């Protein structure tokens, strides 16, 4: 499986570690940068490229996932989620890595290089890569609603139980 990596300066050390770890564990890492430390770099430059590569390969039927890394992982997740077809989960535990895959079919995860040890984050990535999507109907339906909105910009219909309540009335 190909794994696309992108980060900012705060995630550079972890990205480089993951690139080696992935190769040693049978994955094909693709590094979208950065390649040198620059405290003023802009994470969208690298994270958007990693996410675009995942979206393109998955659209072509390839089995690929992505990992984006920053100080907190928040901005990197936001950048990845701007790419059509990407569902990026912010992961801070093994459980969030599992749930991101099982329930949301996340195809990119974002981790915070300043939030955890290298060992912890490597484990989060390992769990994410090893966990399959359950394919449960409710999860498929919800992901479908997101995908439809992504292309049409039309909100999904309200359930009967919500009609007449709240700001939509």
Question: 154 catalytic, yes or no?
Answer: no
Tell me the torsion sign for CA atoms 12, 18, 20, 23: negative
Distance of alpha carbon 10 from alpha carbon 141, whole angstroms: 36
Question: 160 catalytic, yes or no?
Answer: no
Q: Is 51 helix (H, G, I), strand (E, B) or coil?
A: helix
Strand order in the sheet with 108-112: 28-31, 2-7, 64-70, 108-112, 88-90
Total residue count of the chain as it appears in this document: 169
The active-site residue, picked from 103, 126, 139, 150, is: 103
Q: Is 169 helix (H, G, I), strand (E, B) or coil?
A: coil
Tell me the torsion sign for CA atoms 38, 44, 49, 50: positive
- Residues classed as catalytic: 76, 103
């Amino acid at each position: 499986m190909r794994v696309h990596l992108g980060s900012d300066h705060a995630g550079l050390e972890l990205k480089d570690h993951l690139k080696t770890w992935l190769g040693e564990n049978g994955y094909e890492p693709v590094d979208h940068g950065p390649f040198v430390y620059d405290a003023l770099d802009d994470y969208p430059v690298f994270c958007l490229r990693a996410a675009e590569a995942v979206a393109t390969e998955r659209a072509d039927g390839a089995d690929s996932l992505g990992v984006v890394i920053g100080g907190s992982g928040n901005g990197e997740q936001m950048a990845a989620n701007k790419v059509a077809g990407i569902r990026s989960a912010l992961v801070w535990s093994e459980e969030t890595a599992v749930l991101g895959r099982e329930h949301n079919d996340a195809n990119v995860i974002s981790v915070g290089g300043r939030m955890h040890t290298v060992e912890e984050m490597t484990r989060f990535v390992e769990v994410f890569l090893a966990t399959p999507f359950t394919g449960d109907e409710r999860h498929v339906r919800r992901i479908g609603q997101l995908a439809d909105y992504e292309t049409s910009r039309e909100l999904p219909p309200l359930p009967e139980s919500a009609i007449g309540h709240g700001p939509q009335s």
